Amino acid sequence: MSHPINYYLSLAALSLLFVSGALHAQNALQFDGANDYVQTTFDGVLGSTNRTFEAWVNLSSSATGNNAVIDYGQNAVGSRNTFMINSNNGLSFISGGTNANIGTASNIVTANQWTHVAFVLDSGTGYLYLNGTQVGTGSLTSVNTPTTGTDLRIGQRVSGGNIPFEGAIDEVRVWDYARTAAEISANMGAEFCELDSHLVAYHKFNHGIASGTNTGVNSSYDASGNGNNGTLTNMALSGSTSNWVTGAGVTVSALSSAINATGCGGTYTSPSGNYTWTTAGTYADTIQSVMACDSILTITLTFSTSTSASITESACASYTSPSGGYTWTESGTYADTIVNSTGCDSIMTIDLSINNSTSEFTVEACDSYTLPSGNQTGPFSGTYLDTISNAAGCDSFMIIHVGILYSTSSFITELGCNSYTSPSGLIWTESGTYIDTIAAANGCDSVITIDLTLDTVNNGISKSGKTLTATANGASYQWIDCSDSSLVIGATSEDYSPEKTGEYAVIVTQNGCTDTSECLNVKIVGVQQFDSSIGASLYPNPTSGAVTIDLGKRYDHVWVRIMNAEGKIVRSVDGLSRRKTLLDLGQGTGLFTIYVYTEDGYQAFRVIKVE
């Protein structure tokens, strides 16, 4: 952006709308009378609406027959708008049918001479004008131009006939109302330079170089401001025939306006581009307005300087520069230019952060996966897109590759005694159907349905004297010494009478289950030697220290246990291989019980140790 202009127009109607491309004053368009015409994009004034057609024409002396000035619509009764110089050199308007055609006297149009011609439709009555004077009238109540048909055509009629114009045409104007004779007469000799909403098509034909080579200048500008330009068709665009030629010589109007302008960087180029000024002052320049008229500008010029600034900006997806000329989608440092308060460039350095983020990752989940946004993916593996807000409050776009693993289930039947510990470690004490959950090999839940049956064991025990009795009937029994939880060998009956003082319990097996009773204390009073089961003997008894055990024969495996009066084992001797064994009873005095075990059986002795 360089050398911006601050304009203050004295004529608001100009609105600084200029013609793109120069037009040359007072040119016209020469038609060859064979197949030349101009086809515009204007669909014309339609229906029975009032209208006015105007043009300057210069009929060639060699022209014969009818010569169409303009036409549009359809080749049907009441549907076309053929305005022409007829074969008798009079004026005619032809729409076809009753009350749709009017004409003038013959020989009113002089060949090789510029003549102003006009047609007016006013509430169903038509009027024809020559050089501002009415020369014909008639009823045109049948005129009703349809919305379909050929757009405005200059120099030829619409399809259905062939009446090409031979000669020059200039200043073609179409109005959407009925102009009066006074308006036609007053304005026919000058160009229009101010926009008029009723002037709906205006072709000045001020293009090209008169009678020069104009190849490429093959369009006609619509100076009404409606943009319905025309295309030159079948024209040679060279020489004095079928080309741009000198026009009718109407008065060229000019506009004037004043503007204030600011130059930047030491130079200023005028609106026309024809001048470059380097100092402040008042200057003149000429441009063309939207109606192709000269606009003479008085320019009050001052100079200013450009500025620079740095700003820091952030955005989510994109950022539009202060000038509006750029849109950036990536973080970075950018430059932009806007107009500062003095009308010169302000060069901005923008440190931009784009805060949307993107990530891609893989997850595994059991049975289903909940996306970070909270949406469920369902029970299917796949690639999912999700969006959440990141720390900057912008979108975080995620590509998530989800692998769904599936939980398993099973059913088992279990038997237990008194209680049951599930695979996960839960303890149940009643029969029933239970649900337990453990981790499967894939890390997901393994849900187990357990049909549990628990049997109970009667582990009650009673004491009568020194006899202990298990209260369970029809069970298997094994009595134990609670001091060391050792089995009492041979004590497998419902009743048990210990031979020494101590605490005893019974292991009960019933219905495939086993449980142990509480321990009860039994106190044995007196000294006695138990009945021999292996024929062993012990001496001396009492003793002051050691005793000798005579097994009666040699054994390969002999075990000996010595228990004091409190039932505590004070000595153990294992793995003896002999007939006689000398045993030291150790410290203390009192009653001791000695158990001797061999492969043939066992025998117990009560021994008193004295000092």
CATH number for the domain that contains residue 547: 2.60.40.3080
Q: Range with the lowest mean pLDDT among 132-146, 168-182, 447-461?
A: 447-461
315 pLDDT more than 70:
yes
- Give the model's pLDDT for residue 10: 34
Give the model's pLDDT for residue 568: 81
Query: Residue 289 has what DSSP assignment?
Result: B
Q: Say whether both 388 and 420 belong to one domain.
A: no
Please check whether residue 101 lies inside any domain of the structure: yes
pLDDT, position 532: 55
Q: Are residues 63 and 124 in the same domain?
A: yes
> At residue 371, does pLDDT exceed 50?
yes
**Amino acid 24: pLDDT:** 52
Residue 515: inside a domain, yes or no?
yes
Rounded CA separation 55/169 (Å)? 7
Model pLDDT, residue 243:
97
Domain annotation covers residue 144: yes
d(CA 280, CA 260) in angstroms, rounded, equals 11
> So what's the pLDDT on residue 154?
98
Count of the separate structural domains present in the chain: 7
532 in any annotated domain: no
Model pLDDT, residue 587: 81
Which tokens is 421 given? 């510990």
Q: Which residues contact 72 (CB under 8 A, 6 or more apart)?
A: 42, 43, 44, 80, 81, 145, 149, 150, 151, 152, 153, 158
pLDDT for 319-329, tens place per residue?
A: 999 999 999 99
Tell me, yes or no, whether 8 and 132 share the same domain.
Answer: no
Residue 332 burial (C-beta neighbours within 10 Å; 0-12, 13-18, 19+): exposed
- How confident is the model over 229-278, as pLDDT tens digits? 999 999 999 999 999 999 999 998 778 889 998 888 789 999 989 999 99
- pTM greater than the 0.85 cutoff: no
The pLDDT assigned to 13 comes to: 34
Asked if pLDDT for residue 213 goes beyond 90, the answer is yes
Higher pLDDT, 166 or 195: 166
Which of 12, 13, 19, 25 is CA-nearest to residue 290? 19
- 185's enclosing H/E stretch is helix 181-187
So what's the pLDDT on residue 141? Answer: 97
- Say what percent of the chain tops pLDDT 70: 94
Secondary structure percentages of the chain, helix, strand, coil, to 5:
0, 50, 45
Q: Parallel, antiparallel, or unpaired for β 502-510 and 476-481?
A: antiparallel
Q: Is 358's pLDDT higher than 70?
A: yes
Q: Is residue 324 in some structural domain?
A: yes
Over residues 486-502, the mean pLDDT reads: 89
Residues 154 and 53 in one domain: yes
pLDDT confidence bin for 501, thresholds 50/70/90: confident
162 and 212 inside one domain: yes
The end-to-end CA distance of the chain, in Å, is 127
Is residue 425 domain-shared with residue 336, that is, in the same domain? no
Structural domain ending residue among the three candidates 522, 550, 569:
522
Confidence of residue 311 (pLDDT cuts 50, 70, 90): very high
Last residue of a domain, one of 246, 262, 284: 246
H or E element at residue 184 = helix 181-187
Q: Which of 5-14, 250-259, 388-397, 480-489 has the lowest mean pLDDT?
A: 5-14
Residues 510 and 586 in one domain: no
**Same domain, yes or no: 86 and 186:** yes
Residues 347 and 433 in one domain: no
Whether residues 344 and 219 fall in one domain: no
pLDDT for 341: 80
Does residue 15 have a pLDDT over 70?
A: no
In this structure, is residue 531 part of a structural domain? no
DSSP code, position 14? G
Determine contact, residues 261/279, Cβ cutoff 8 Å. no
**Res 271: pLDDT:** 92
Say which range, 21-25, 153-157, 498-502, has the weakest mean pLDDT.
21-25
Residue 107: the pLDDT is 97
**Quick check: 233 and 273 in contact, CB under 8 A?**
no
At residue 237's C-alpha, the angle toward residues 233 and 242, to 5°, is 70
**Are 212 and 329 contained in the same domain?**
no
Would residue 15 count as lying in a domain?
A: yes
Binning pLDDT at 50, 70 and 90, where does residue 14 land?
very low
**Model confidence pLDDT, tens digit, residues 77-135:** 999 999 999 999 999 999 999 999 999 999 999 999 999 999 999 999 999 999 999 99
Q: What is the mean pLDDT of residues 138-143?
A: 98
Identity of the residue numbered 446:
S
Q: Closest Cα partner for 350 from 393, 319, 325?
A: 319
pLDDT class of 23 with cuts at 50, 70, 90: low
Q: How far, in Å, are 10, 122, 181, 308 from residue 296 at the CA level?
A: 11, 38, 32, 35
Q: Tell me the mean pLDDT in the region 553-558.
A: 87
531 vs 226, residue with greater confidence: 226
Average pLDDT, the chain: 89
Predicted confidence (pLDDT) at residue 567 exceeds the cutoff of 80: no
Cβ-count burial of 577 within 10 angstroms (0-12 exposed, 13-18 middle, 19+ buried)? exposed
Domain containing residue 238: CATH number: 2.60.120.200
Phi, psi of 429 (to 5 degrees): -120, 5
Q: Is the pLDDT of residue 2 over 80?
A: no
Query: Of 481, 497, 522, which one is at a domain's C-terminal end?
Result: 522
Domain that holds residue 272: 1-25+252-304
Say whether pLDDT at 185 is over 50.
Answer: yes
Residues 369 and 496 in one domain: no
Mean pLDDT of 428-440: 90
**Residues forming beta bridges with residue 319, ordered by sequence position:** 328
